[in-house]
């Protein structure tokens, strides 16, 4: 598996380093612009857009890597099980995600002190602590891995058909599966009384007129909720489905 990961890393290194280099150049340009009087809101908005674009490029590269594995004749020559091939792609995606998060942390550490027109005291006092940082980090990694697994399942389903435009079969399968899971989650757990962002649970504080005026965190790290356990179960099922399709249905 590690040899396959090394091969994938070398194969994707040009796109990886180019994406990181462009992201760093953009962030450096925005920092210089903020020092020259650019609007802080504009700098933050462009910075977020740059991070989103870089994350999307690297995530799509991980998806493309798995698709390459399925159609490559070399995978028949490698003494690897399908689960090892899947794990190699997931590890590659985790490396990409951690890279973006590390750059994001560095940029935030440099940018925030340089911006005088925006008050970041609430974020610094409430979010830059071990519990919320751990929660955000954990959920970001989980979300990236979880989404990639479902897209890998859609790719495997599409590759199981030898027809034209099978991309649309995979897309339809992805949408249908996600819709069914969302519906089952609603039936089992109903609408949540609390808002949530990943592992962080919020309580909405409302005024007398019923309008929401604040969202206060009630729990920083609570992954053992019913919907999240369902996510784990369905994701494991998706992994077994991918392995089955790679063994029985996907042909070169």
pLDDT above 60: residue 214: no
Local structure of 81: helix, strand or coil? coil
| pLDDT on residue 133 | 77
| pLDDT on residue 145 | 94
| pLDDT on residue 92 | 95
Partnered with residue 206 across adjacent β-strands are: 212
* 234 contacts 181 by C-beta, under 8 angstroms: yes
pTM confidence score: 0.85
Exposure of 27 by Cβ count < 10 A (0-12 exposed, 13-18 middle, 19+ buried)?
Answer: buried
pLDDT in tens, 128-140: 777 777 777 888 8
Please give the structure tokens belonging to residue 220: 């920083």
- Which comes out higher in pLDDT, residue 251 or 20? 20
Please give the structure tokens belonging to residue 74: 């070399």
Strands of the 195-197 sheet, one edge to the other: 195-197, 200-206, 212-219
Would you give the distance in Å from CA 213 to the centre of its chain?
Answer: 30
pLDDT in tens, 27-39: 999 999 988 888 8
Nearest to 176 by CA among 198, 158, 196, 195: 158
């Amino acid at each position: 598996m590690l040899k396959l990961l090394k091969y994938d890393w070398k194969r994707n290194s040009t796109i990886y380093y180019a994406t990181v280099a462009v992201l760093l150049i953009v962030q450096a340009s925005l920092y210089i612009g903020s020092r020259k009087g650019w609007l802080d809101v504009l700098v933050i908005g462009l910075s977020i857009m740059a991070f989103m674009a870089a994350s999307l490029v690297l995530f799509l590269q991980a998806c493309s890597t798995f698709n390459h594995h399925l159609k490559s004749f070399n995978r028949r020559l490698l003494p690897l099980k399908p689960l090892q091939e899947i794990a190699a792609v997931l590890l590659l995606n985790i490396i990409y995600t951690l890279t973006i998060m590390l750059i994001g942390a560095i940029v935030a550490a440099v940018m925030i002190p340089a911006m005088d027109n925006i008050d970041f005291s609430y974020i610094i006092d409430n979010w830059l602590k071990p519990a919320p940082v751990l929660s955000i980090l954990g959920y970001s990694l989980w979300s990236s891995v979880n989404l990639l697994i479902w897209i890998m399942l859609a790719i495997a389903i599409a590759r199981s058909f030898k027809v034209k435009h099978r991309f649309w079969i995979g897309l339809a399968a992805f949408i249908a599966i996600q819709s069914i899971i969302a519906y089952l989650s609603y039936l089992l757990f109903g609408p949540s009384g609390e808002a949530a962002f990943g592992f962080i649970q919020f309580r909405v504080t409302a005024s007398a007129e019923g309008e929401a005026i604040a969202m206060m965190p009630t729990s920083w790290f609570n992954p053992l909720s019913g919907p999240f356990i369902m996510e784990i179960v369905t994701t494991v099922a998706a992994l077994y489905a991918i392995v089955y399709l790679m063994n029985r249905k996907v042909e070169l």
